[in-house]
């Protein structure tokens, strides 16, 4: 009788252990996808820079990001005026 009870408790324990293990794996997978997927995409784009389409995408990103920066001539004037 006690052997049946211990088998049932062990069975329940292993079922819970397997459920917890799968849930931890799912949480790690979701976290990985949310945090690192975009970064890996950017790294892969840089590694495949020989593709013409990727070169155009990178140029457009640089243009968009640098549009807020002053032009080289404006920067030169600013530096010259502030040094004298």
pLDDT tens for each residue of 12-60: 999 999 999 999 999 999 988 888 777 777 777 666 666 677 677 777 7
One domain, residues 2 and 24 = yes
Query: Does 6 have pLDDT greater than 60?
Result: yes
Distance CA 16, CA 40 (A): 34
Instruction: Specify whether 60 is located in the same domain as 74.
Output: yes
Look at residue 1 in the predicted model and tell me its pLDDT: 57
Positive or negative, the CA dihedral 75, 79, 82, 84 is negative
Same structural domain for residues 75 and 38?
no
Q: Which residues contact 49 (CB under 8 A, 6 or more apart)?
A: 55, 58
Q: Is the pTM of this model over 0.85?
A: no
Q: Do the beta carbons of residue 64 and residue 58 sit within 8 Å? A: no
Could you tell me the residue range of the domain that residue 28 belongs to?
Answer: 1-47
Distances (CA, A) of 31 to 28, 39, 40, 73, 74: 5, 13, 14, 46, 44
Q: Give the count of domains, the chain.
A: 2
Q: How confident is the model at residue 67 (pLDDT cuts 50, 70, 90)?
A: low
């Amino acid at each position: 009788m006690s052997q049946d009870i211990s088998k049932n408790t062990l069975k329940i324990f292993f079922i819970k252990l397997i459920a917890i293990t799968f849930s931890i794996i799912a949480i790690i997978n979701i976290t990985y996808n949310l945090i690192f997927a975009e970064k890996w995409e950017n790294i892969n784009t840089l590694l495949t820079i020989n593709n013409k389409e990727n070169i155009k995408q990178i140029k457009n990103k640089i243009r968009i990001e640098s549009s807020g920066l002053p032009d080289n001539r404006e920067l030169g004037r600013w530096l010259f005026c502030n040094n004298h």
